Structure 1
Amino acid sequence: MPTSERNSANVPANLPKDPWSRSDSTQPVVMAIPAQRNANLDAIRGLAVLGIFFMNIYFMGITFFGYAPHETPPMSDHIIKVFSNFFIEARFISLFSILFGVGLFIQYQRFSAKGLEAYPLLRSRLKWLMVFGLLHGIIIWPGDILLTYGISGFLALCYKDLSIEALKRKANIFILSALVIITLISLTGSDEPFTRESSLFAEQYSAWTSGYADQLFLHLMQVGYMALVIPFTIMWFTAGLMLLGMALYQQGTFERGFSKPQLLKLVLASVTVSLLDTGLDFTNNPILVTFSDVLIMLSAIPMALIYIHIMVKICQNNPNRLTPLQNVGKLAFSLYILQSIVGVLVFRHFAPELLLSLDRWGYMAMALVYSVMQLLLASLYLRYFKQGPLEKLWRHLTFKKYAAPQEHKQA
């Protein structure tokens, strides 16, 4: 999950007016020292943690393959599939990655301003995130993203001091290189159909709804596979998005959003690539569907940036706007893990038969209901506590080695 951060509401006068301008971006802008929570970032993070469950819910049961469509899907499946391709699929993972990069940059500022050793602290934070990711993936749900964030964070930190334009160039290189490699790997995959009526689905259903010991073995296999491929694939894509987040933060995007011309470009890019990947997806040609899966990762980036713009314009860094979303954002780590616990319990233990009967609209309805529950839970929890349980534990583990007790308290 994105690291927690604080930020001053004051935007330095020397920020370039155009968020994508090249004229005044040869060096990173010197941002004000973070002083208070950035309400915009909390709201964006809240949207992301709610949105990610709309995608992950399909994988809470049969984690490796996800949703199994019928050989002849109902019309509602097609409609929701198209909607997801434009607004949900990969959008919120990309949003989290961008926010994580922002968090790394802000935390480096905060630690340095307090006279702390920023790099050792951030390395400790990332190492513990990887530990959480491994535990989450092996014990609870192997669709974990925390391990990827930890590994990618180490890579992104190496380029933190680049100029804004250099950060963007490096981000583009990482993202495009990753997509090429992912495409090549995906083309070697199996063409065996995975539908509700297939023998493969029956095998997977039996395996993933069996006893916990059998599930644990599947978890170990999937996490082991991911640990092998992450350094060659998704690490570069995620690190590229983190670098993009660092660049956009320094340009003031999380304070002002985008200009109208740039917003229009983002909309056109998102719509164009989403139309293309949706068209390829409906061809049922295995090779074209593979290209569709890669294009959807690319189309997610402009849509994630559009979500950032919308949240910034609505929230306007005001803690009294979008407060329920901000509350979710403050508990993002804890709620993300809770999503996995609830999802796995429901689809593998309490009601595995749902995997046999639910269509896409049923999954979306469940995700919507659970989103409301998370909004209520976060607001209730923060009435009595200032920090989520996992956020607090993560902070404690990060600081226990490198900071004195009084420094831990101040941070």
Structure 2
Amino acid sequence: MNIPYHAHILLGYVPFETVNVGDQLVSFVNTVFFDGRFRTLFCLLFGVGLAIQFSASQAKGIDSTSFLKSRLRWLLLFGCIHAVFIFGGDILMLYSITGMLIISNLALSQGEIIKKAKKFIIIGSILSLIMGASSAIPYAMDISALVTRGSSSFIESYDAWFFNYINQILMQAGFAVLLLLLSPLFILWQALGLMYLGIYLYRDGFFENGFAANTFNKLLIVAVLSTSICAILEWSFPLILSEAMPAFSSVSAIFVALVYAHIAIKICQKNKPKSMFVKVFSAPGKVAFSLYIFQSILMGLLLRWVVPEFYKVMTQFDFFVLVILMTILQIMLAKLYLNHYKQGPLEKLWRFCYASSNRNTHS
């Protein structure tokens, strides 16, 4: 979902003035299967990580609050560097800030954790729907306000962005700051609720067993219905809702992501831990931080410097093919890397930084 924004952080994918059927089809597939679904999973897993580290700290007699704050502060720094110099759409800063808001509540009971999860998810979902509707209204009133491929506003933005790294740094920094400042209006609360939900599900044994059949069936029905509404809107108003759809999809994404998680757990239950299937798809997760930054660097270099002219002509399908190739490359790199090393390079650097920081604090 991020790849077009690696080409141009402010515009992302710019639609053609005449609706391209291929673009509409790929956007439809994105809305149904991808948009917001994996960000939701990442938020859940980030909450799981906090819960695991909290338990491990307590078992070792370590001050969990100072340990987790150190980890998250370093992640925030890495996120800042990433946002300013590589990709302004960084998510690490949001994760670290959201995680810091949770640290003091990690000792709460399961009942209190799930209450917070529900409250923040509801607040975040309502705000997302309002944000989505607000962003769609200007285009509904005046379709000419939408930036389209080849328009004067597109060309002006293209010329200001490409081949000017200083300008890119300034724009990326501004975009990242604006994203953080606006996050309390929509995404922060949803991320907070999802992390709490991840903590609750982990402690409830979900990641070993999945949902009960009755619960899964209810989730599946809500996921299908909420996604169908988004898909109908996307297909009916492709230009008007191009900017607003991610906000709408973030609500259905909650249910779809939980369905995905349940299916993944059941697949893993049926495959031995050392099976090829589990090895192939668990490898990228073990070096996720490194792959995330690697993707930003490679896509930024490719789309902004090596072949910037592609941005003028690339369709959604072209980006989709690029995503598939990038995914295959990352899976292969992760597998090859882990054949020789136990930890990703950035994971190792991160661990060294917060471990050194904690040693200095307690010395």
Q: Same fold (TM over 0.5)?
A: yes
Deviations 1:214-256 (A, max 9, x none): 1111112112212322244322111110000001111111001
| Residues 275-284 or 141-150, more deviating | 275-284
Aligned to 2:119: 173
Residue 249 and residue 166 in structure 1: after superposition, are their counterparts in 2 closer, same or farther (change >3 A)? same
Is 1:243–2:196 an aligned residue pair?
yes
SS of residue paired to 1:197: coil
Aligned to 1:326: 282
| 2:215 equivalent among 245, 258, 262 | 262
Aligned to 1:151: 97
For residues 195 and 93 of structure 1, the distance between their equivalents in structure 2, rounded to whole angstroms, comes to 27
| 1:398 equivalent among 341, 354, 360 | 354
User: Is the Cα–Cα contact under 8 Å of residues 74 and 350 in structure 2 kept in the other structure?
Assistant: yes
Aligned to 2:48: 102
For residues 289 and 80 of structure 1, the distance between their equivalents in structure 2, rounded to whole angstroms, comes to 12
| Residues 311-320 or 335-344, more deviating | 311-320
Aligned to 1:193: 146
Shift of 1:183: 4.2
Residue 67 and residue 156 in structure 1: after superposition, are their counterparts in 2 closer, same or farther (change >3 A)? same
For residues 241 and 307 of structure 2, the distance between their equivalents in structure 1, rounded to whole angstroms, comes to 35
Query: 5 Å matches for 1:10-409?
Result: 55-186=1-132, 189=135, 191=139, 192-284=145-237, 292-316=245-269, 318-321=272-275, 322-403=278-359
| Residues 71-80 or 289-298, more deviating | 289-298
SS of residue paired to 1:60: helix
Shift of 1:199: 2.5
For residues 314 and 241 of structure 2, the distance between their equivalents in structure 1, rounded to whole angstroms, comes to 27
| Residues 81-90 or 196-205, more deviating | 196-205
Q: After the TM superposition, list the runs of 4 or more consecutive aligned residues in structure 1 that deviate by more than 6 angstroms.
A: 285-291
User: Is the Cα–Cα contact under 8 Å of residues 117 and 192 in structure 2 kept in the other structure?
Assistant: yes
User: Is the Cα–Cα contact under 8 Å of residues 128 and 250 in structure 2 kept in the other structure?
Assistant: no
Residue 365 and residue 124 in structure 1: after superposition, are their counterparts in 2 closer, same or farther (change >3 A)? same
Aligned to 1:25: none
User: Is the Cα–Cα contact under 8 Å of residues 124 and 189 in structure 2 kept in the other structure?
Assistant: yes
Shift of 1:278: 2.1
SS of residue paired to 2:7: coil
For residues 187 and 88 of structure 1, the distance between their equivalents in structure 2, rounded to whole angstroms, comes to 20
Q: TM-score, normalised by structure 2?
A: 0.91
Equivalent residues, number: 352
Deviations 1:338-381 (A, max 9, x none): 01001111111101111111111111111111111111111111
User: Is the Cα–Cα contact under 8 Å of residues 187 and 290 in structure 1 kept in the other structure?
Assistant: no
For residues 161 and 297 of structure 2, the distance between their equivalents in structure 1, rounded to whole angstroms, comes to 15
Residue 360 and residue 333 in structure 1: after superposition, are their counterparts in 2 closer, same or farther (change >3 A)? same
1:323 corresponds to which letter in structure 2? Answer: K
Deviations 1:254-307 (A, max 9, x none): 001112222222221111111111222344398877764432001111111112
For residues 347 and 93 of structure 1, the distance between their equivalents in structure 2, rounded to whole angstroms, comes to 23
Shift of 1:186: 5.0
1:381 corresponds to which letter in structure 2? Answer: Y
| Residues 73-82 or 109-118, more deviating | 73-82
Residue 85 and residue 211 in structure 1: after superposition, are their counterparts in 2 closer, same or farther (change >3 A)? same
For residues 259 and 359 of structure 2, the distance between their equivalents in structure 1, rounded to whole angstroms, comes to 38
2:5 corresponds to which letter in structure 1? Answer: F
Q: TM-score, normalised by structure 1?
A: 0.80
User: Is the Cα–Cα contact under 8 Å of residues 121 and 193 in structure 2 kept in the other structure?
Assistant: yes
Residue 109 and residue 227 in structure 1: after superposition, are their counterparts in 2 closer, same or farther (change >3 A)? same
Residue 63 and residue 380 in structure 1: after superposition, are their counterparts in 2 closer, same or farther (change >3 A)? same
User: Is the Cα–Cα contact under 8 Å of residues 61 and 208 in structure 1 kept in the other structure?
Assistant: no
Unpaired runs of 5+ in structure 1? 1-54
Residue 170 and residue 342 in structure 1: after superposition, are their counterparts in 2 closer, same or farther (change >3 A)? same
Structure showing the higher helix proportion among its residues: 2
| Residues 121-130 or 311-320, more deviating | 311-320
Residue 291 and residue 229 in structure 1: after superposition, are their counterparts in 2 closer, same or farther (change >3 A)? closer
For residues 288 and 367 of structure 1, the distance between their equivalents in structure 2, rounded to whole angstroms, comes to 23
